[in-house]
Amino acid sequence: MKAIAITGSIATGKSTVSKYLIQQGYPVIDTDIISRIVVEKGTVGLERLKENFGEDIIQADGTLNRKALSNIVFNDAASKEKLNQILHPLISKESKKRMKAYKEEGHSLIFVDIPLYYEVDIDIPTDAVWLVYVSPDIQLERLMKRNLLGEEDARQLISNQISIEDKAKWSEIVIDNSNTPEETYKQIDQLLKAENNK
Ligand SMILES: CC(C)(COP(=O)(O)OP(=O)(O)OC[C@H]1O[C@@H](n2cnc3c(N)ncnc32)[C@H](O)[C@@H]1O)[C@@H](O)C(=O)NCCC(=O)NCCS
Ligand SMILES: Nc1ncnc2c1ncn2[C@@H]1O[C@H](COP(=O)(O)OP(=O)(O)OP(=O)(O)O)[C@@H](O)[C@H]1O
């Protein structure tokens, strides 16, 4: 079984590509969803976060206060390191479990949506990377439109991640999502065809 990582940067179109792959019948594992499941109420993950970052990161209903945690970890390198130490093994374990299940079901090609593939060092074994690219101008425009943000706030979110231009330089396979979705789907069809002929 071959596993391909789908990555990009904020609002470049990873979900758009993933949805199309699912429509075409391919399994797509979403690590962003998994990163939320491993800290749901009652999990070991949430308990470990509480032990390390205090009761203030838990809301009255017992769920994680993401804003409170993000204020701690994105303002202090050691705290961010601690967060990664706690969550990454849990995200890795669940991702590998799902990959194994798809393999056992007989799938020969699966995808793993890993938004921070280039930013974080997490153990999720993939065989190739498809980068979902748009130009920085289009990224800014789509992010402002989707999240109803002003330019400054949108630029701030984009600057938290490695630039899409750098990621494109590092990736062998780049899907250009700057044009219509149909143009993007055509590129994916070609890539799938190439994979299935290997
Ligand atoms: C700290 C958390 C709870 C804050 O949640 P919140 O909903 O406020 O923000 P969100 O998840 O959308 O992240 C905001 C931005 O922060 C950056 N970011 C998030 N996690 C990380 C990280 N571990 N390292 C570096 N940057 C990160 C990204 O640029 C992201 O777009 C959340 O980011 C989290 O659980 N992070 C750790 C999980 C993780 O490492 N995921 C990535 C690997 S699969
Ligand atoms: N080819 C396209 N043409 C026009 N709009 C698009 C196209 N692809 C995506 N969009 C829009 O751009 C926005 C970002 O796309 P999408 O949500 O797929 O990105 P993402 O990389 O998954 O984002 P995030 O990292 O924030 O989850 C969405 O509002 C989406 O509808």
ipTM of the complex, rounded to two decimals: 0.96
62 is in an annotated binding site: no
The answer, yes or no, to whether residue 153 has pLDDT greater than 90, is yes
Asked whether the predicted pLDDT for residue 54 surpasses 90, the reply is yes
pLDDT at 175: 98
pLDDT for residue 190 is more than 90: yes
Q: Report the CATH fold assignment for 1-27+107-198.
A: Rossmann fold (3.40.50)
Please check the confidence at residue 117 and state whether its pLDDT lies above 90. Answer: yes
Where along the chain do the CATH 3.40.50.300 domains lie?
A: 1-27+107-198, 33-106
Band (pLDDT 50/70/90 cuts) for residue 138 is very high
The two tokens of residue 5 are 């990582």
* The pLDDT of residue 28: 98
What's the pLDDT tens digit per position in 81-100?
A: 999 999 999 999 999 999 99
Please report the pLDDT score of residue 94 as a whole number: 98
Write out the E strands in the chain: 2-7, 28-30, 109-113, 128-133, 173-176
Chain mean pLDDT for the chain: 97
Residues contacting ligand 2 via CB (< 6 Å): 8, 10-16, 115, 142, 146, 177, 180-181, 184
Predicted confidence band of residue 42 (pLDDT cuts 50, 70, 90): very high
**DSSP class of 64:** B
Residue list, ligand 1 pocket, CB within 6 Å: 10, 31, 35, 66-67, 69-70, 73, 83-84, 87, 91, 116, 119-120, 122, 160-161
Non-local (6+) Cβ contacts of 142 within 8 A are 11, 134
**CATH domain 33-106 topology:** Rossmann fold (3.40.50)
Question: Could you tell me the pLDDT band of residue 198, with boundaries at 50, 70 and 90?
Answer: confident
pTM for the complete prediction? 0.97
Backbone angles phi, psi at 179, to 5 degrees: -100, -150
Ligand nearest to the CA of 75: 1
- 135 annotated binding-site participant: no
Interatomic CA distance for residues 171 and 38, integer angstroms: 29
